[in-house]
Amino acid sequence: MAHALPLLVWALNELVEVGAIAKLLLARQFNCFRIFLIYIIADVIRSFLLWWFSNASVSSDLYASLWLRSEPLLLAFQGLAVFELYARLYGTYPGIGRFARILILAAAGTALSICLITVSIDLSEQWKHPDLQRMMFAKRLLSSVGATLLALTLLFFPKARSARPIFEIGWLLSGLLGAAAVGYFVIDIAAPRHNNSVEIGTITLAVQSAFLIWWIVKSLPDHIETSARATTDAEWARLLQFTRWLKKKDE
């Protein structure tokens, strides 16, 4: 039973992620959230390969080794998905100017401060495999920053009907990252002494599945307003424009 529960939660999460992919495709959201879609697809493929090659044993050295080698790619997609969402917000509120810049910088500062305060707790235990510990710490750090940054921004950003799908994706991504941040923080401080990383990981995966189910059952419109829709070339142009906007000191 102890072995069956993680497998059951993993299977549920895989099905829910496939459902989220189908939701994006059927609702024609993939043109607006390409990076987020790629991130979910990559996570499904990676999870399946991990379980296949490790014979569904999450506590094996092979599973840990494969996870360690594949995680940097997932972290990159997570960061790009957050960046994509901010680019979408910028495209929906083109005239918001200084207020948005101050809000984003304040949210980023708060997120980094929270992480720096808890760094010593993460590193208080020494693991048998330092590389694995460092990667889990990096995941916890990046997930914490991303989740806090998104949550604070979405809480205080002006709400508009045309931005509803963006806010829903933003809260979903914040929930996924927040669950990962809490889960890996607990693993960092508890797993070396209690050897319970599998149980904590299972709970984290279950919480992430709950966030995905919440988003899937939400009623999304069939399209996004023209201001938030773009072709492939315009998509990258918008991202580049967003980076220049962040660097500006004045309106």
Question: What's the domain count of the chain?
Answer: 1
Across the chain, mean pLDDT equals 77
Q: What is the dihedral of CA 231, 220, 212, 210, to 10 degrees?
A: 170
* Sequence-separated (6 or more) residues with CB below 8 Å from residue 191: 127, 197, 200
What range defines the domain where residue 135 resides?
A: 4-247
What is the per-residue pLDDT for 215?
92
Q: Report which secondary-structure segment, H or E, holds 189.
A: helix 164-194
Kindly tell me if the per-residue pLDDT of 40 is higher than 90. yes
What is the per-residue pLDDT for 39?
93
What is the share, in percent, of the chain residues with pLDDT greater than 70? Answer: 72
Dig out the tokens for 39 from the structure: 């991130």
Q: How far, in Å, CA of 161 to CA of 119, rounded? A: 39
Question: Average pLDDT, stretch 134-145?
Answer: 81
What is the per-residue pLDDT for 1?
45
Q: Ranked by mean pLDDT, which of 38-42, 133-137, 165-169 comes out on top?
A: 38-42
Q: How far, in Å, CA of 49 to CA of 58, rounded? A: 12
What is the per-residue pLDDT for 222?
44
Nearest to 160 by CA among 246, 103, 96: 96
Q: How far, in Å, CA of 2 to CA of 242, rounded? A: 48
**Which of the pair, 233 or 114, is modelled with greater confidence?**
114
Q: How far, in Å, CA of 73 to CA of 88, rounded? A: 22
What is the per-residue pLDDT for 231?
41
* Sequence-separated (6 or more) residues with CB below 8 Å from residue 120: none
What is the per-residue pLDDT for 113?
82
What is the per-residue pLDDT for 229?
44
pLDDT in tens, 182-227: 887 777 676 555 566 777 878 888 999 999 999 988 755 444 443 4
What is the per-residue pLDDT for 142?
85
**Which of the pair, 198 or 45, is modelled with greater confidence?**
45
